[in-house]
Structure 1
Amino acid sequence: MRNSTDLTVAVIAKECLPGRVKTRLSPPLTPERAAALAQLSLSRTLDTVRLLPARSRLLVMDGTPTAADAEDFTVVPQSSGGLDERLAAICDAAAGPLLIVGMDTPQFSVEDVAPLLQDWSTRVVLHDAWMGPAADGGFWALALRHPVGELIRGVPMSTGTTGASQFARLSAAGLRVGILPELRDMDHFSDALEIAVEIPGSGFAHAVDEAALEVRRSALTAGATR
């Protein structure tokens, strides 16, 4: 890879419909409010990916994206199967160096992947793969210079040891793995509150503040009626 523009960046995402996305945010949020936060998280993630030097950008979607989200991306449907199978399918379809990111880390910035871009832009590359660990034990980003689905297929997903298992799989294959900054996934409303603090003044932070106010009002109303 001679420069970072040879990179393909894939965002794996789900259509933000109430009751189908971020269901662990409700309660305390309504399904509609949870879906709205998911949409803001996805859109912000896509905006960041648009800033990255890349040869191509993929939106690997379960459902239908908004027109604004699809702009500058090639939209492809997710494959069937568990998350490991869906991630593996992205790798098997890639023609060159690949970075996969999720939609649940709206605080993700260009600076978070700067070490990867720097490494893969040099003549002497130090790492064959990069991982971005998540605070819950998973990972928010995975990059492979030579993507092969078998490097992911079969790794247990959505557990507290997913990141460690994926790292072990890559290391066992003889890959030199670099580590990106740890980020927090938006799995619960408590996560959204912490993420909002990291990106003050953003549309996401404003929406979280509104949601928190609504939660407090609901609690006060429920208390008054007891």
Structure 2
Amino acid sequence: MKEESARRSPTAFARHLVVMAKLPVAGRVKTRLARGVGVGRAVSFYRAGLAAAFGRVSQARRWTTYVAVAPDSGIYEPVWPISCRRIAQGRGDLGQRMQRVMDGLPPGPVVIIGSDVPEIRSEHIASAFKILASADVVLGPSPDGGYWLVGLRRRPRIARIFDRVRWSHAETLSDTLANAVGLQVCWLEQLDDVDDADDLARLSERAGRRIPSPPNIFS
């Protein structure tokens, strides 16, 4: 009976989706975009992107959604979806913060995304978790040499694929893959993210269309 209960335990097979997010205030978010379009528009874009991302992916019951907040004090601000669990990102570069997320969550596969990918849908998240049923790593590449999604199976161990990665760099993905030698890596489709004014202009039709949030998504 104990063995059967363990096999059925929801904790052992829980799926965890984490949205990495910064407190949406001027000077803290989309600074490269702000240089091209102005601070006000950049913050508005970031807030709309957060709401759209959560509206698309956080309502699925197939996984638990977390928002990983920076700075840590922002975890208490009333701007986050009430449907998501809040965790602090902690200190360090992006790789150290994502590794902390991977290390700290309960057992089960973890998928991490950002909030600046206008085309992301719940189907992408479902596909990532399906891949992680057998693969060690799943990645969603971006045209700029980075990636818009990363997931780890976290069994039989939690891989460390973020060490010594050059972030916001043309070699971000290559550096990550160098850390994943010996692991089974699978891929999702390539999607664009929005980092600067050129990205926003190129994706203006899609980036400007906000998916309506379900009622009471924000507290």
Q: Place the TM-score, normalised by the shorter chain, in its bin.
A: 0.7 to 0.9
User: How many angstroms does 1:53 deviate by?
Assistant: 4.2
1:19 pairs, out of 27, 30, 37, with 27
Q: Tell me if structure 1 keeps the 8 A contact 2:140–2:148.
A: yes
CA contact (8 A) 1:151 1:169 kept: yes
Aligned to 2:86: 75
Match of 1:118 in 2: 130
Give the equivalent residue in structure 1 for 2:117: 105
Query: For 1:196 and 1:148, how far apart are their aligned partners in 2?
Result: 38
* Alpha-carbon RMSD: 2.6
What TM-score, normalized to structure 1? 0.77
> For each residue in 1:50-76, what CA deviation from the matched residue of structure 2 results, as whole angstroms up to 9, or x when unmatched?
144444211000143664533111111
Correspondences of 1:21-40 after superposition (within 5 Å): 21-40=29-48
Q: Name the structure 2 match of 1:89.
A: 100
Residue identity over aligned pairs, in percent, reads: 25
Contact 1:52-1:110 at 8 Å conserved across structures: yes
Q: Quick one: which of 58, 67, 70 aligns to 2:66?
A: 58
Q: 1:152 aligns with which of 156, 162, 167?
A: 162
Task: Give the Å deviation of 1:199.
Answer: 5.9
| Aligned partners of 1:107 and 1:195 also within 8 Å | no
By how many angstroms is 1:39 displaced?
A: 0.8
Is the 1:135–1:184 Cα contact (8 Å) retained in structure 2? Answer: yes
TM-score (norm: length of structure 2): 0.79
| 1:156–1:162 contact (8 Å) kept in structure 2 | yes
Partner residue in 2 for 1:166: 176
User: Deviations along 1:110-160, whole A, 9 cap, x unmatched?
Assistant: 23334323334xxxx442210011121111110101072622233222210
Residue by residue over 1:12-31, the C-alpha shift from the partner in whole angstroms, topping out at 9 and shown as x without a partner, is 11111112211111233221
Which of 174, 177, 188 in structure 1 is aligned with 2:185? Answer: 177
Structure 1 residues 75 and 163 mapped into 2: Cα distance closer, same or farther (>3 Å)? same
CA–CA distance in 2 between the matches of 1:111 and 1:56?
A: 15
Within 2, Cα distance between the matches of 1:115 and 1:56? 15
Aligned residues: 197
Runs (5+) with no aligned partner, structure 2: 1-6, 212-219
The answer for the alignment partner of 2:217 in structure 1 is: none
Over 3 Å counting, the alpha-carbon distance change for 1:38 and 1:159 in structure 2 is same
